[in-house]
Chain A
Amino acid sequence: MQPTDIGNPQYFHKVVDCQWACPAHTQVPRYIRMIAAGRFDDAYLLNWDSNVFPGILGRTCDRPCEPACRRGRVEENNGEKPEPVAICRLKRVAADNRSVDIEKRMRERLPEPVPGAERFRIACVGGGPSSLTVARDLAPLGYRVTIFETDAKGGGFMRTQVPRFRLPEAVINEEVGYILGLGVEFVGNHKIDSMKSLLAENFDAVFVGCGAPRGRNLHVPGRDEAATWIHLGIEWLASVYFEHVKKVGRRVLVLGGGNTAMDCCRSARRLGGEEVKVIVRSGYEEMKASPWEKEDAEHEGVEILNWLNPKSFVHEDGKLTGMWFTPMRAEVDANGRRKLVPNGEPDRLIECDEVLIAVGQENAFPWIERDLGMAFDEWGMPVLDKLTMQSSLPGVFFGGDAAFGPKNIIWAVEHGHQAAVSIHNLLQHEDVRKRPPPLTNLVSQKMGIHEWSYDNEISPDERYVVPWAPKEKTLTNIHQEVELGFDVQTAWKEAQRCLNCDVQTVFTKDICIECDACVDACPTDCITFTSNGEEMELRTRLTAPAQNTGQDLYVSEPLKTARVMVKDEDVCLHCGLCAERCPTGAWDMRQFLFVDSCAGHDEGSATVATRKKTPA
């Protein structure tokens, strides 16, 4: 193998599994250390800088970081339940404990405006997370941003579809408020129904972040006849939010296996639904809903029934009485495609009073005229540059669910960041595809022979459970938040579970004396000194076999004995024992900083300077 180029920032970035997996590349271990140190404002602002909605995401994020977390791999065979660090809920701790004058501190760290930016006007269609991110990134640079929103208040899906028992309205108000407070013009109760007219207003750039607002319907017999008792999930959730719907039938069926279905069934439990069942066509494991959402629903007495395909609605005198389902199984066809087919068992009747359909969402752009020259694909989706989020009309950009269909909040934020970079480039006459380089740094954490500036003791604790409000309270009041968040003491203990994967093991081959001390000291057998070879072959003859090929091998240049040092990054605990037991300092623990690129973030720019103001 070739020696590893640790000068390439992506090498160490990939070692920080959580940050690498996060669409916005939030510096997770760094903010977890800040939380452990009680620096909640710094932790909040680090998040705010990267993911814009720490309080909201600390409750609702899809948390791609957690399945990626190294802790979930190294606890395997070591504990009853290998669990990642509760990254998402730690983020909430930063939000819950931030100081009241956070907005002032936020402003102190904003980048300097770009001279002349105030000449440019940018329109954002929709007031959801992607539009708000564009506004948050561009307004401080001096651009004049206007957000048009159909509803009275900003927040989009986060406000109208995510139920209040998961996300209190005050949290949305605060975090949307921070952005609007940056000098962003918010035009509420204003539905954009023509792109042509919007373009005629001579905005310098338009960002479309209007979500995927149309719930997919289910056309099976009886749908129209019993329509009064059948609702589209996302519309019904919005009606619950606006309090147009205040109760639901005693027996409720929710069709679909995604997170919207989970929000529907849990809302139904709070509005009078006593027997609430979620019916899913496929199996339990392959449901799109996050595992914890399923657990939460089941905890509240919701029953999840799998492998049932809706066949028809049953109604008597115009009143819904039940639904017929066909039992299904999965089959792989001749082309290797998996499809669902009836398993031959008799159809099943499930009685109910009301049905919520949550089988997916669709994008809809009836308001974008097709004669504007904007290209759409065969599914009616805009043709976009995936890097820049730019449409075929150079001044029009898309993001969030409007771009590539329903995803989640953190992806919407990342789309917003990238679109903001593109819009800034466009208006500054730069190449729109240009991405500013990430801000990186690599600094030794050594303070003494056995002393590091990070807490390198590995906590043996298992994941802490977030306390819940009692069920009697949460099921009777739809506004009662279920999760109460970690208290500071528990948060500290949970934070100690973080392995600090951003503190990298850096090897200097010229001073290595090949004494094997690191090999003997490593608790997870990551280090080997051996003759070089092809990667797949080398992986088989390390101290412990490196079977996870998704994780890199760190290979040194040849040493004095002509061998190479090979470190399997997979299960490294970043405990620093290799460096503590190294007699020559050939191993060192260095904190790797990786700040993802953002609008106006050019080397030497004011933005970089202000970002450096945040202490480590």
Chain B
Amino acid sequence: MPPKAPDCVTTRWHEMTYLPKPRLHHPSLQRNAAGFIRRDYEGAVSTLCAGCGHDSISAAIIQACWELDIEPHRVAKISGIGCSSKTPTYFLSASHGFNAVHGRMPSVLTGANLANRELLYLGVSGDGDSASIGIGQFVHSIRRGVDMVYIVENNGVYGLTKGQFSATADQGSKSKKGAINTDAPVDMVGMALQLGASFVASSFSGDKAQLVPLLKAAMTHKGAAFLDVISPCVTFNNHEGSTKSYDYVREHNHALCRMDFISSHAEITVDYAPGEVREVHQHDGSVLRLRKLPEGHDSGDRVGAMNYLHACQARGEIVTGLLYVDPDAADLHAHLDTTPVAFNTLGEGELCPGAATLEAINADLR
């Protein structure tokens, strides 16, 4: 017997003026190895604007988690403040969650990760939360190599405060009211590459065929995985003159390559001529198969990735896809040589080793 779906996903919100998604589902939905159907990974009904790109990203996370057979209680979703940071409510309602202070998701996530290294950490943030108020936190969590998936739902505006330009808005782009942005944008993808993230990708909320495999690759990556997802704000940034509208992104999207995610228990078949694909073998046994790579591009070449990114940006293109991955990266725990298990599995004797141990440590430092 497959396990029953967790009860919390059936929560009903009668006080809302709009309706939760009915539990009835398509009869063909299959249970994954963890015993869940895709619908079991959903959350409460979204209160974001209808048509928000963030909802598509939530749907992609749901799909990726179902496909990876992830047990929801093994996930911690941590966010800050903003439209993007509201979204963890709308997926994985059976997972752990924490809404941090504005811009402070990375430090809360780092702390949680140090205490319990066995969970999958989804850091969900936005351009305001990570490129303005929390930019310092973003920078340090990346350079420390915290084992996480850091997702920036990037729409170029402050949606919750009526659509002012955010720090990622492109120079020269036009606001809904007609103002032109004169400031240069913060390039979070470029920064992540420069700061040593061991997995860097960019994507578009309107392209789930690309986004879902990228999320799966990031979730199985060991180390700091950074994923910048352009996510149009339908209310404040989806007009003519915007560089983060559905139409603009579709017209200027330069997909670096197509990537297939092949899980560790799937049979790996080769049906491509040599040179046509490049395969990246991850630590958990999964394989990232990159197709249609541009001439001379190497997903393991950090400097090449930075050059490629900047060259495309200079041409006015938006690069999407997997830019860089180091499958052998070490994470913060390896750097600090921490205990190999979660703190909550340790006994009092190990957590409080006593005065004699302290004496020994102090003696060492003398």
Contact = CB atoms under 8 A, between A and B. Distances in A.
Interface of A: 73-78, 449-451, 456-458, 460, 513-517, 519-521, 523-526, 544-545, 547, 560-561, 571, 573, 575, 577, 580-584
A581 B205 CA distance: 16
Nearest to B245: A513
A584 B22 contact: no
B101 interface: no
B25 A78 contact: yes
Interface residues of B, number: 33
B24 interface: yes
Contacts of A584: 51
A449 B16 CA distance: 13
Contacts of A526: 26
A387 B176 CA distance: 61
A577 B59 CA distance: 15
A520 B55 contact: yes
A516 B18 contact: no
B17 interface: yes
Contacts of A573: 22, 24
B361 to A, nearest CB: 53
B21 interface: yes
A583 B24 contact: no
A524 B55 contact: no
B232 interface: yes
Q: Which of A450, A451, A460, A523 has the most CB of B within 10 A?
A: A523
A575 B21 CA distance: 9
Given A76-B27, A524-B24, A581 B50 contact: yes
B52 interface: yes
B337 to A, nearest CB: 43
Contacts of B50: 517, 580-583
Given A450-B18, A584-B51, A516 B25 contact: no
A577 B51 CA distance: 12
A456 B51 CA distance: 20
Contacts of B29: 77, 525, 544
Contacts of B206: 514-516
B279 to A, nearest CB: 26
Interface string B7-51: 000000000011101111111110000000001000000100111
Given A513-B51, A523-B21, 17 more contacts: A75-B24, A77-B25, A450-B18, A458-B24, A460-B24, A513-B238, A515-B56, A515-B232, A516-B206, A520-B56, A521-B21, A523-B24, A545-B28, A561-B250, A580-B50, A581-B51, A582-B51
B18 A515 contact: no
B234 A577 contact: no
B17 A524 contact: no
Contacts of A73: 27
A517 B24 contact: no
Contacts of B205: 516
Contacts of A547: 28
> Which label, helix, strand, loop or mixed, suits the secondary structure of the A interface?
loop
Contact of A457 (B19, B49, B247): B19
Given A571-B26, A571-B27, A583-B49, A577 B55 contact: no
A76 B205 CA distance: 32
B22 A460 contact: yes
A560 B247 CA distance: 9
A516 B18 CA distance: 19
Contacts of A458: 22, 24
Nearest to B56: A516
Give 6 nearest A-B pairs by CB, closest first: A583-B51, A450-B18, A458-B22, A520-B59, A544-B26, A515-B51
Given A450-B18, A561-B250, A517 B23 contact: no
A528 to B, nearest CB: 11
A544 B23 contact: no
A584 B235 CA distance: 11
Contacts of A451: 17
B210 interface: no
B58 interface: yes
Given A457-B19, A523-B21, A515 B53 contact: yes
Contacts of A456: 19
Contacts of B26: 524-526, 544, 571
A73 B235 CA distance: 37
Given A450-B18, A450-B19, A577-B19, A523 B232 contact: no
B246 interface: yes
Q: Which of B18, B22, B208 has the most CB of A within 10 A?
A: B22
Q: Which of B21, B247, B250 has the most CB of A within 10 A?
A: B21
Contacts of B52: 515, 517, 583
Q: Which of B24, B27, B53, B206 has the most CB of A within 10 A?
A: B24
A273 B140 CA distance: 88
Nearest to B51: A583
Nearest to B90: A520
A545 B56 CA distance: 21
Contact of B19 (A77, A571, A575, A582): A575
A74 B27 contact: yes
A121 to B, nearest CB: 55
A510 to B, nearest CB: 14
A582 B59 CA distance: 15
A369 B246 CA distance: 77
A449 B49 CA distance: 11
A583 B206 CA distance: 14
Contact of B58 (A75, A519, A520, A561): A520
A524 B24 CA distance: 7
Nearest to A456: B19
Given A515-B56, A515-B232, A544 B28 contact: yes
B151 to A, nearest CB: 16
25 contacts: A75-B24, A451-B17, A456-B19, A457-B22, A513-B51, A514-B206, A515-B51, A515-B52, A515-B206, A516-B59, A516-B205, A517-B50, A517-B55, A520-B55, A523-B23, A523-B25, A524-B25, A524-B26, A525-B29, A544-B28, A577-B21, A581-B46, A581-B51, A582-B51, A584-B51
A602 to B, nearest CB: 42
A573 B39 CA distance: 16
A581 B58 CA distance: 14
Nearest to A515: B51
A76 B28 CA distance: 9
Nearest to A75: B24
B96 to A, nearest CB: 23
Nearest to B63: A520
A513 B206 CA distance: 10
Contacts of B22: 457-458, 460, 523, 573, 575
Contacts of B51: 513, 515, 517, 581-584
Contacts of A577: 19, 21
B246 to A, nearest CB: 5
Contacts of B235: 583
A76 B29 CA distance: 11
B13 to A, nearest CB: 11
